[in-house]
């Protein structure tokens, strides 16, 4: 069996367009909105409209809405490169430009990916064109999503949500918030479901917008839910508590969104490597691919080593996306891609700053900004540590109770 690792021809135009946006739109305003934290980048409105038009015109797969799995074919009946792959490829290019601006794109939030992943057709028709953030983390937990303490109590035709959510990406600006809550805390993770809550809901109260180390152009909000009433039709996935089914629809979201976050890290890693190579070139230092690493200058050898790590992260990410397109279980591969890409990105970004010395540390170049932006990519959608734990459980065949 042969594997073609080039970009599929049908996605060539999309990738080129994403690179042009990264070069001509994101890079020129990157520093501006990093310094103007919490100021909404108006330049993104036009791009969001273009992406909406591409999705509506049948050129879907651009961004968060592209992660919906196609149910038209049975698993294993063909080799597909579909919307998950095109989403990953376009996000890699866009995040080569600026991660924070990609996270600030209207209607491209992780909540949109959650809706695309598990919503039924009726819900997708109602919510699919709105901007949705995703609220999982609470003051009492970060990576252990099973520890959700926000509750959802059925009351007639509504659910009543109570709890607190923190670090909600795009929480202030979004139209909707996808809130994870438990139908019955005594039943553990099986009772955790996700609910679509309108941002205007009076029971969803904004507490603060946070100041952050990186991705400063993207707003990150904290909320309190006080007797927040949500129609029963706005629960995503199966409303039944199935103790043998884990998180059901809620957890399925991660299988599609973790490759997207890995793609963000892959794009930013490439930006760091290419910028460092450019600065090396200005200083008269170049790698020689025909010479063994041990015989090259230490800085050139380190750059080649970082590039190898980047390539491994990229291939893992493409594998996870390909499996989603081909309706294959990819929880293991999604976590492997997220773990490798997140760690590689933070490592490479800091090493590039160090290799470039004063130039890398100053604000004349974007390397110092990228080093700050990189850290979140190893944290959200499950930290490095939780990804390694998930990988170990799957490889060893252990449950969460057996391997903690």
Alpha helices per DSSP H over 159-297: 249-282
What the block records as the tokens of 189 is 């993770």
CB distance 280 to 300 below 8 Å: yes
The per-residue b/e assignment along 61-87, b for 16 or more CB within 10 angstroms, e otherwise, is bbbbbbbbbeeeeeeeeeebbbbbbbb
Q: What angle do CA 159, 110, 310 make, to 5 degrees?
A: 150
Q: How far apart are CA 167 and CA 174, in angstroms?
A: 14
Instruction: Please tell me whether residue 184 adopts helix, strand or coil conformation.
Output: coil
Number of residues assigned to the chain: 404
Exposed / middle / buried, residue 308 (Cβ in 10 Å: 0-12, 13-18, 19+): exposed
- Torsion-angle region of residue 284: left (phi > 0), alpha (psi -120 to 50) or beta? left
Q: How far apart are CA 10 and CA 58, in angstroms?
A: 13
Q: How far apart are CA 404 and CA 388, in angstroms?
A: 11
CB distance 146 to 188 below 8 Å: yes
Is 381 a known active-site residue? Answer: yes
What the block records as the tokens of 96 is 């080569």
C-alpha pair distances (Å), 311 with each of 11, 283, 304: 19, 25, 11
Integer-rounded Cα radius of gyration of the chain: 21
Catalytic residue among 138, 240, 381, 402: 381
Q: How far apart are CA 20 and CA 7, in angstroms?
A: 16
C-alpha pair distances (Å), 162 with each of 166, 196, 205, 227, 318: 14, 14, 11, 6, 39
Q: How far apart are CA 255 and CA 236, in angstroms?
A: 16
Please identify which residue in the block is written with the tokens 């601006």.
101
Exposed / middle / buried, residue 30 (Cβ in 10 Å: 0-12, 13-18, 19+): buried
Active site members: 381
């Amino acid at each position: 069996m042969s594997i073609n690792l080039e970009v599929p021809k049908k996605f060539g135009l999309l990738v080129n367009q994403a690179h042009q946006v990264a070069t001509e739109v994101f890079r020129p305003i990157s520093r501006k909105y990093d310094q103007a934290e919490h100021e909404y980048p108006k330049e993104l409105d036009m791009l969001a409209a273009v992406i909406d038009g591409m999705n509506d015109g049948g050129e879907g797969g651009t961004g968060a809405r592209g992660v919906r799995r196609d149910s038209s074919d049975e698993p294993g009946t063909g080799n597909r490169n579909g919307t998950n792959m095109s989403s990953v490829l376009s996000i890699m290019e866009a995040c080569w430009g600026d991660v924070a601006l990609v996270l600030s794109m209207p209607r491209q939030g992780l909540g949109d990916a959650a809706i695309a992943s598990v919503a039924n057709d009726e819900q997708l028709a109602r919510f699919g064109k709105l901007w949705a953030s995703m609220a999982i983390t609470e003051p009492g937990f970060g990576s252990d999503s099973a520890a959700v303490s926000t509750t959802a109590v059925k009351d007639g035709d509504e659910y009543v949500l109570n709890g607190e959510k923190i670090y909600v990406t795009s929480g202030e600006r979004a139209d909707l918030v996808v809130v994870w809550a438990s139908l019955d805390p005594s039943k553990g993770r099986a009772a955790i479901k996700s609910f679509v809550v309108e941002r205007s809901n009076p029971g969803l109260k904004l507490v603060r917008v946070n100041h952050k180390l990186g991705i400063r152009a993207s707003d990150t909000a904290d909320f309190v839910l006080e007797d927040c009433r949500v129609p029963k039709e706005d629960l995503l996935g199966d409303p039944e508590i199935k103790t043998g089914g884990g998180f059901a629809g809620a957890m399925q979201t991660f299988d599609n969104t973790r490759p997207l976050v890995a793609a963000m890290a892959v794009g930013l890693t490439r930006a760091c490597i290419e910028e460092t190579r450019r600065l090396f070139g200005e200083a008269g230092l170049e790698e020689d691919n025909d010479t063994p690493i041990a015989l090259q200058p230490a800085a050139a050898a380190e750059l080649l080593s970082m590039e190898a790590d980047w390539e491994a992260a990229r291939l893992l990410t493409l594998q996870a996306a390909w499996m989603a397109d081909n309706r294959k279980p990819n929880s293991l591969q999604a976590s492997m891609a997220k773990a490798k890409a997140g760690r590689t990105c933070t490592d490479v970004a800091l090493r590039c700053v160090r290799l470039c010395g004063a130039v890398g540390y100053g604000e004349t170049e974007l390397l110092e900004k990228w080093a700050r932006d990189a850290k979140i990519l190893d944290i959200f959608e499950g930290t490095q540590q939780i990804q390694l734990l998930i990988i170990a459980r799957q490889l060893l065949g252990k449950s969460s109770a057996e391997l903690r």
